[in-house]
Chain A
């Protein structure tokens, strides 16, 4: 194997520093209420499961069946620790000509969507999201691979962002 030609002196980015720092943008985090909403969903799913498995184990009296609720509790704790971190990692930034959305801690992802490439914008809010006062904004380009959705925005902010994106998109409108 030969030595690397193009980037011989580039040091590996030290672990822990942010991959997207070089872009030098101010990230706007989403509302922490998104974490509450996601945890509520988790509780709604896992709660009955936990009760069911506990009841099953208690009623049948088979010892190894207690491992089921234990696994569910562990899963719940894991999700409980993970979700707030995930939500903190979800952020967006409006630049002059494009919108940046980043997400993920372990698997980091960044999407850059030029305003002129936007075909339409979706604002959605389910019943639970409305309860928590959040909404999600999703941008669609002509490419289905564009996964630029921002969950957990306060409704006013979502509406503002939608209008802003729409107006900027119109100003920079291009074909395909």
Chain B
């Protein structure tokens, strides 16, 4: 068979044939939004356009855009194919500019199954693999059938964990296609196309196959034309739910924020000004603010709705989202740092927002939702969230230590705090600024009113820094910084005693080294530690 004789032995698969229909809409909507935004500048001209038969032209343009959009998506779909080997995921995309991406599974940082609203309605899902290559490095497989996506996720996680494929090679899956298998490589590729969607085989497919240098083996297809996941499938790892966020608390917590307070103040001021000046002009300044707040509240609630976290042998499982549902899997040891934060308005109910740094989850506004470990946690849940990442904090009394970290001041539970003379540079927070070194992690707390606690496992320390400005030098203080991967957490302790800070830097470098040496393997199911290091 051509698939087995090739050196690379890649079994190429395609996305679900409905993909172009889902993606094409995006193009149409984008054009509509941009066009509408441009046109809205001049409403009168827009009205003129709609007089007489103008609307026919508009409709025609829309239809043309739709045709182009769907045609483009269709072409893009035909050019997109992926393959999974024991070591990597290969993804080939692009119509004019071809891209062949290969993501090594041992570098896998997280696997997400994302279902936008439309895809959810038709039972499709996008599978996203995050590798630590900066923004845009994710491998996105969109769209697959939901069951296929889940099976593929289980397979990828199992392979990334270092498990072996259950004996049988993917060859049996190809068996039902004896006719095409006998033909040469190029012919195989073209023969594969009609089997998938009934399209007339185009020249482009040949070019791709030739450019790939690898045969495109036809995946066995069902009557519906969907690709089938190879027979030797992995069982999905069992999971155990640890917490769930009630929607009531989420809504309450989201509204109970500084933004709402600011808006209420603004409304009061605006009404007052309106009464005094006897005009309603101020209302127009309020509208954008109101919209801004509403969209903020909506996005927070939308992203955090039905937030559930679970543990599994494959790591942390997070599920959330109202319209767009996301199921994230972060394997063990992939969380680089964790932050628990509490704003002014969350102090009374004692709620905490828990965020994490995972290499690959970038911090650009759109992806903020990926880095949330708990949108609004009670004290107990915050502790649980911390436990999810770090099963052993490395202290004798974790509850007391976490309490001291969350709300404590001064040196309780062994925190090294800023000395009293630091009040000259930080009159409010100096008693909170502190750092605690446990056997497993570095715990950093700060903020008197806006409380924050950062926890960095020793083995996840990237590099360390020490800074001292002129005033700090006069006072004999220095700030200590831990560099972590990009994300919401940026741990640092300001204004420690200079000698303490230097000692901490020196010891932390040593601790990070020993922790790395004894840390679990990158492939988390492999038993011998340090095999990958």
User: What residues make up the interface of A, taking CB atoms closer than 8 Å to B?
Assistant: 1-7, 10-15, 19-20, 22-23, 97-98, 106-114, 116-117, 141-148, 173-176
Contact = CB atoms under 8 A, between A and B. Distances in A.
Given A2-B410, A11-B476, A145-B484, A19 B466 contact: yes
Contact of A144 (B464, B474, B486): B486
A129 B459 CA distance: 38
A173 B483 CA distance: 18
25 contacts: A1-B423, A2-B431, A3-B420, A4-B419, A10-B497, A11-B476, A14-B476, A15-B473, A19-B468, A22-B502, A108-B473, A109-B466, A112-B465, A116-B516, A141-B463, A143-B484, A145-B463, A145-B481, A145-B490, A146-B462, A146-B463, A146-B483, A173-B533, A175-B107, A175-B522
Contacts of A143: 462-463, 483-486
Interface residues of B, number: 57
B483 A145 contact: yes
Contacts of B512: 114
A10 B483 contact: no
A174 B458 CA distance: 13
Nearest to B498: A13
A110 B505 contact: yes
A5 to B, nearest CB: 4
Nearest to A147: B465
Interface of B: 107, 109, 132, 333-334, 336, 359, 410-411, 415-417, 419-421, 423, 431, 434, 459-470, 473-476, 478, 481, 483-486, 490, 497-500, 502-503, 505-506, 509, 512-513, 516, 519, 522, 532-533
B509 A22 contact: no
Contacts of B459: 174
B417 A4 contact: yes
A12 B217 CA distance: 72
Give the residue among A1, A12, A176 with the most B Cβ atoms within 10 A: A176
A175 B533 CA distance: 7
Q: Is the interface of B mostly helix, strand, loop or mixed?
A: mixed
Nearest to B464: A112
Contacts of B497: 7, 10
Contacts of B475: 12
Contacts of B522: 175
Give the residue among B132, B462, B470 with the most A Cβ atoms within 10 A: B462
B468 A176 contact: no
A148 B434 CA distance: 26
A4 B483 CA distance: 28
A6 B437 CA distance: 14
A98 B483 CA distance: 14
B507 to A, nearest CB: 11
A5 B468 CA distance: 22
Given A4-B420, A7-B416, A142-B359, A176 B336 contact: yes
A90 to B, nearest CB: 15
Contacts of B470: 106-107
A111 B465 contact: yes
A18 B427 CA distance: 26
A148 B466 contact: no
B476 to A, nearest CB: 3
A12 B421 contact: yes
Contacts of A176: 109, 132, 334, 336, 359, 460, 485
Contact of B469 (A2, A11, A23, A106): A106
A146 B474 CA distance: 26
The 3 closest A-B pairs by CB, nearest first: A12-B476, A4-B420, A5-B411
